[in-house]
Structure 1
Amino acid sequence: MDLQLLLDTLRAVKLELYRKRVMAAVIFMLVTAGVLAVAFVTPKTYTSHAVLYADQSSVLQPLLRGQAEVSQLDRINEARELIQSRTFLEQVAADTGLITGMEPDQQRNAAIATLRKQVNLRVTNRSFLELTYSSGEPDQSFQVLSAVLNRFLERTARKKRSESQGAFEFIDSQVKAYQRQLEEAEQRLKEFRVRNQDGTEGNVTARIERLRGDIETLKLEIEQTESQVELTRAQLAEEQPVRRITLNAGQSSAERRLAALRQERDSLLLQYHEKHPDVVSVLGQIEDLQRQIATQPAQEREGALTEVMENPVYESLKLQLAESTTRLAGQKNRLTSLQALLDEAFQRGERVAANQAELSELTRDYDVTREVYEDMLQRREKARLTMTLDVQGEGVSYKIQEPASYPVSWDGLQLYQVGIAGPFLGSATVLGLLVMLVMFDQRVRSPRTLQLALPPAIPVLATIPHYSSSWKDRLLRKDVIGLLFILGIFMAGYLAFLLFSVMGVTPEQLVRKVSELLGSGGA
């Protein structure tokens, strides 16, 4: 559509508006009043809002932290299931008077089903639950949602107390079970120690090391004693048990003859010199006798006198040998005993090593059970405190983040908004109808329309323009003035109804507001 055609269309719409001004005014007033009337008689819905905070943790979670895995609770779904349950809705309906208990089952079921549809739940955050209830009366919406909150908190508090009681009983049963396990572990450990008196590996190792040291020391002492015994025996072998002292050695026949020859020699030497044959013969005999005497045994002596005495060195060595031999025998016996003790210590070590695994397991079981038992005792006290808090209403799982709000206005567009939009909708309706009339009317209202409809070979020779009087002349006509007066009265009444009845503004408030505006404008 080109610009000339658009201008011609606007002029045609303006002309039709003037021609059909009465009908346009009537349509405007009907649409404006009808919109407000429809909005006024349309059923209203009032919604009350509330927000709950849901604690996602379980009662057992802080009590069993570090000891066991506790499943996370979905408080949101739990709240949804509770609020949508039939027993809960029956209590709420009975509290708010929606049911009395005397109506038939069909009516009661219908009321509960309606209540279930009108109570809506929406998760606004991971731990926040928004509750809404919609009805045709604001008082009913507020009362029903308040009853829902009260009943919900009452039930959850009772359930929380039951959970706390159950948690305490559970932990108490665990404490008793661990106490029995601890007593059994103590008894097993006691019986094991009674059966096995071999001590610990440290004691056995220390004893083995001590015995080994004693054996090494004793072996050195035995070697030293054996050396002393051998040396003493060697010395004793060189000594005689007794000593013989010769008081008179006595003389043999050769010695007596030798003595006689020596006397004869001496007498011959007094008479002869050494070369004398007699002297030489005697000297030869003397030499022969001397050789004979040197080779003859002492037993051939006659008249010998000797004295026999005990050898003190021999006796001392003999006594020392006896002492060393006795000491050596004792040391060997002691070595045998120490070897037996060492073998026994090794056997004891094997028994201790064999029992050490069982002892370690028993000790470990006892220590672990004792630690868990002591920890469970503390947790039982915490559970007792939690149960006490829940009984007093302190440890709740749900809290009212925002209480039920009283709906001061209905849902959707308010009446004053519809009333303000009414004149605009009326004007738009009139203009729309006029545009449709111009667009779909078969009459040719513009030369441009005729040019576009005819073939290019057929030109439009001339146009006869409409005679248009001025707007001033048109407005001063009696029918136009009357129509404007009627529209003015309608709009004044419409605005007064909208202002005073719909919006609730009092005349005093209006006068005061106008005075403030005039005062500020004059200043």
Structure 2
Amino acid sequence: MEELFSQMVGYLRGMWRFRWWGLAFAWIAGIAGGFAVYSMPDRYESTARIYVDTQSVLRPLMSGLAVQPNTNQQIAILSRTLITRPNVEKLITMADLDLAARTPGEREALIAELTGGLQILGAGRDNLFTLAYQDVHPERAQRIVQALVSLFVESGLVGKRQDSTSARRFIDEQIASYEQKLTEAENRLKDFRLRNMALLGDGGRDYVSQMTELSAQLRQAELELKEAENSRDSLKRQLAGEDPVLLEPPANSSPVSLPEIDGRIDLLKKNLDGLLLRYTDEHPDVVGARRVIAQLEEQKQKEVEAMKKADAGAPWAPTANPVVQQMKISLAEAEARVASLAARVAEFGSRLAQLRSSAELLPKIEAEQTQLNRDYEVHKRNYESLVTRRESANMSVEMTAQGGITEFRVIDPPSLPNKPAAPNRALLMPLAGLVGLVAGIALTFLLSQLRPAFGDVRSLREITGLPVLGAVSLLADPVFERRRRRGLLAFGGGVTGFVMAVAGMTAMVQLLQG
């Protein structure tokens, strides 16, 4: 600590030797700084205040129906990103500043000046913004701020429209993409169902349900077949116990007429006509009815031929009892029903056997169908969601355009300043004096280092490394003392005069600005 103190004292002694040089340089630097401050051009500041109203009656009413962006965040981002080169170039055109910038260099300098001078200041959460700019000409400053206000409002509205347009274009592209995916999924599902129609049936039942349903239908058909066979057998037993009645045949009766077989054939043909109205030619009931008709016609042909051989030339022929004839007709119906039910049982049995033979293939087909259905449902759900969002976006655009969700209000229009806002000469003038004083001190320190001197025996011994035998003291006489006091007074007066000059210039500048 003692060494540091001694070193500081040595520096001060060395600087004291060149105090007059430092004082003169401080005066020169102070005068130059004061002249520079005084000659700085006046800059006039024009300001405007804008309030962005983000509250609207439609906002709570349309909640959940339309997309409502965070307008406060958008406005805050806009205020921070408004001053960009494209916007500054547009502002130059709007404020007619391009008339003065004729060369590319001048235009670049103007862009740089505006980019650094334009200010957009926010006032917290109240959405109140202050726009300011300083220029040497008050009218031009007002024009620039007016153009900035227009650009601020324009950018907010255009930005919202661009965001809405971009969002709708993106949603439309996604809808078109998912519509194509949905069509492809539908085509894959349709082709799959067409390829496996025989195994899948109507597509709404799985393998187990089809097996269960076919088994139940087969059991029901077998039960009905058994009931029809019992009814047919009962009719046969009743016909076997009836005695035929012989009547005198009419003169014009045909010796080969078979009322029993003819009645059964007519009844079956009527039944066949009714079946063809409901079913196709391949239906089991239609096939069975035709087979029974063919058998009856063949039987009739054989009996006619037998009767022609056995009863040729007979004067009369047996005619059946009406009750017997009616029972034979009922028997024909029963046999037709039995044949139809037998065909149905055979068809159900064939289907059930086919399903059982495809027991290993059907689960794979059903798994593939489930995967196709899942892909289709995912694409369909996304497509419907995108369509809903597009409608919500369209509603938001209409709501913004008609309802004014965000409104820009100019609270204070751009002002025309009549007093300069800068430079603050009352503050810069003392700073210029302080800079001059620091410059004088720095000069004395530099000179003391360029022309050093030893102030005591200790520093001489430490620097040279030689032994110092002794020192000669200076005895001041009265003449030297008077000269030294006059020098101190003159130096103090110079410093005081410098301070008084700086204070006087500051007071004068403040008076002129006020």
Q: Which has the higher contact order (CA 8 A, sep 6+)?
A: 2
Structure with higher Rg: it is: 1
| TM-score w.r.t. length of structure 2 | 0.46
